[in-house]
Structure 1
Amino acid sequence: MEKPLVSVIIAAYNAEQYIEETLDSILNQSHQVLEIIVVDDGSIDRTAEIVKAFHPRVRYAYQENSGSCASPRNHGLRIARGKYLTFFDADDIMLPKKIEQQVREMEENPSAVLCVINYCNFTGKTRSNDHFSSCPLLTSYIRDLQKASFPLNALESTHLLIEENFTIASSPLFRAENVVKQGGFDTSLKACEDFHLIYRVASQGSMLVMPAIGFERRLHNTNMSADSERMLRNLIRSRQSLATYETNPDLKLRLQKRVLRYHRDLQSCLINKGQLRSAAKIFKETFPPRSLSDLNHDFRQSIKLTLRGMTTAPIDYLYRRGKRNG
């Protein structure tokens, strides 16, 4: 039987440091029926030079800088020809059987709209445990089912995604038609656009989950996750958008609760950074659900012993501001 074409789409911006290692890992896949597309999002380093000279199987496309991954990924989607799609980060490492394993599961389960696979984090020197083991709800499925892969229906997968967010951009293999039906990535989002698309696609059918490790996610100081404030603000935007999209009342409520929790985390983050005016703004937005006792705890953690006598003043300020403007 003829193997299906898989399009691997890589959004790259100033990726000269890691792109060769990433492309090598993709070219070394056991599933060789591949279309590899690198969309350069206006890089100003040697990304273009490296990719163009790398291998004839690697297709290079250029666009002006968009400031996010959503636009270059959509660019790749428009020119891709594969039955299946995977959007792979320009600094991650694909293990040799990732695509083969996912294609096999998708071919055997024609009703599935995507297949997600496990991964581990690495820094170039050290590697973490697999990511799924840090997700208790998902781990309970893995432990109970003891299978190489298992399906989650749309309600199960979206519920788990809200609670544990167990997957990232480089993990899924999508059936291309399902991504096209969803219109690709939401370009209004500057981050978390991968979760946003995965959630929307998963809501349309069954998701296959593979506990095997399929790739290594590289961690470094330019990752979005290294900037807590920026990450939290984008988590809030993406979940707010999905809460508007979601028609299931229970899932909508869960998304709204998650947004509130991220607002609280952001408030604590700002307090710890000494940005009290910004924290006050978040307090007003989440008042009254954010309790004064919780806020007081955050201030005490932030200001600590040296300013112990001043902790009540900012509390009183935030309380008065919240009451006056609420």
Structure 2
Amino acid sequence: MSAPANPAQHAPRASISVIVPSFNSARFIGEALDSILAQSLQPEQIVVVDDGSTDDTADVVRRYKDRRIQYIRKEHGGISSARNVGLDAARGEYISFLDADDRWRPIFLETMHAYLSEDPTVASVFSNFVRFQHPSGQLLSDQFQSYPEIKRPALLRDAPYAHGRIPKEKAFSALVACGDIPAYTQVMMFRRSMIEHLRFEPTLTLGEDTNFVLKAYLAGGVVFTDAVLAEVRRHDANATLDQGEMVIHKLNGLKALAPHVTRETDLRAYRDRLVRAHIDAALYQTRLGRVRAGLRTYRETFRISGSALRKLKGSMRMAMAVPRGLTK
């Protein structure tokens, strides 16, 4: 079988490292790599980290004869360890991640790179994206529908895509408050010099992206664009299929963030979000009949300073939920 062609082999390049973590993604990773090689602005390095796959991932990657593709195989250790291996190997001035089952639209890297290049105070940028159903290919709603705060006219303006800029002193507090925290690494680019000290938390099986991205939001300004520049696949092996259980993982990711949040303005926003996350997790546990676990999770809110009104409202919601649970 001949090597896949590179449709953008003559496109300009930039000092960008793309990290592609993969575990048993042989059926998808070719599309991910093709979407990288089709970018209007090409990366200088593509690091594929095979996290101990037992399928044909290695064979698929080896068909690509592009010297920029660096294949690293490691023992299976989870998505955090795979991304960390990629970070250790990355040499570019800018870093992006693309999950092996997702794909970028052709101007993703060019757009992200332009925002970072024009403002040295920006640490990270991210775009809107759509999900698509596998195997039908049906496009689902765009992700920014989950971020009503981002759609405010005060944050969006045309230049040439609708986009917003948040300075460093406001980035964390503004984005941690979003209903669904913008923490999707496959639609982000980071300035390496501002995040090179950061790593994904290996103790988190899920919620590791929320933890990492929020640490990046503490490091510098943030730019985001309303343009849909990536497509995220929904399929039977997605790690996040159980959206209910994700509230537990997101809470764990937020709790692990505590040592990194030190500025008072950030602390206020962080504590408020931490209370919200505890309440969401407590309600989820209670409604599943795990009442005692839910009550324990809710009681943890009283160890967090501030957010008295939110805690009171949480008490009312818990009071309504508990009678419907079965005590365990």
TM-score of the pair, normalised by structure 1: 0.83
CA contact (8 A) 2:52 2:73 kept: yes
- Whether 1:246 and 2:258 are equivalent positions in the alignment is no
Q: Give the 5 Å matches for 1:76-225.
A: 76-124=86-134, 125-141=137-153, 145-147=157-159, 148=161, 149-164=163-178, 165-180=181-196, 182-225=197-240
CA contact (8 A) 2:210 2:254 kept: no
More helix by share: 1
The aligned counterpart of 2:82 is 72
Residue by residue over 1:141-168, the C-alpha shift from the partner in whole angstroms, topping out at 9 and shown as x without a partner, is 5665333344210132212221111241
Please state how far the C-alpha of 1:229 moved relative to its aligned partner.
5.1
CA contact (8 A) 1:113 1:175 kept: yes
Structure 2 residue ranges without an equivalent (≥5): 1-11, 304-310
The aligned counterpart of 1:48 is 58
Q: Give the 5 Å matches for 1:258-297.
A: 258-286=273-301, 289=311, 293-297=316-320
State which of 18, 37, 40 in structure 1 corresponds to 2:28.
Answer: 18
CA–CA distance in 2 between the matches of 1:100 and 1:92? 18
- Whether 1:7 and 2:17 are equivalent positions in the alignment is yes
Specify the SS of the correspondent of 1:5.
strand
Aligned partner of 1:75: which letter?
A: V
**How many matched pairs?**
302
Q: Alignment RMSD, CA only?
A: 2.5
Aligned partner of 1:163: which letter?
A: A
Aligned partner of 2:317: which letter?
A: D
CA–CA distance in 2 between the matches of 1:128 and 1:121? 5
Change (3 A) 1:209 1:166: same
Over the matched positions of the two proteins, sequence identity in percent amounts to 26
CA–CA distance in 2 between the matches of 1:169 and 1:71? 15
CA–CA distance in 2 between the matches of 1:143 and 1:233? 30
CA contact (8 A) 1:114 1:173 kept: yes
CA contact (8 A) 2:210 2:250 kept: no
Specify the SS of the correspondent of 2:149.
helix
Change (3 A) 1:192 1:145: same
Q: Is the deviation greater in 267-276 or in 24-33?
A: 267-276
Aligned partner of 2:110: which letter?
A: E
Residue by residue over 1:203-256, the C-alpha shift from the partner in whole angstroms, topping out at 9 and shown as x without a partner, is 222212222111011123433332245422221122122233211223223222
CA contact (8 A) 1:37 1:76 kept: yes
CA–CA distance in 1 between the matches of 2:20 and 2:74? 13
Residue by residue over 1:5-62, the C-alpha shift from the partner in whole angstroms, topping out at 9 and shown as x without a partner, is 2111011111122111111111111112431111011112222222223443432101
Specify the SS of the correspondent of 1:18.
helix
Please state how far the C-alpha of 1:137 moved relative to its aligned partner.
1.6
Specify the SS of the correspondent of 1:71.
helix
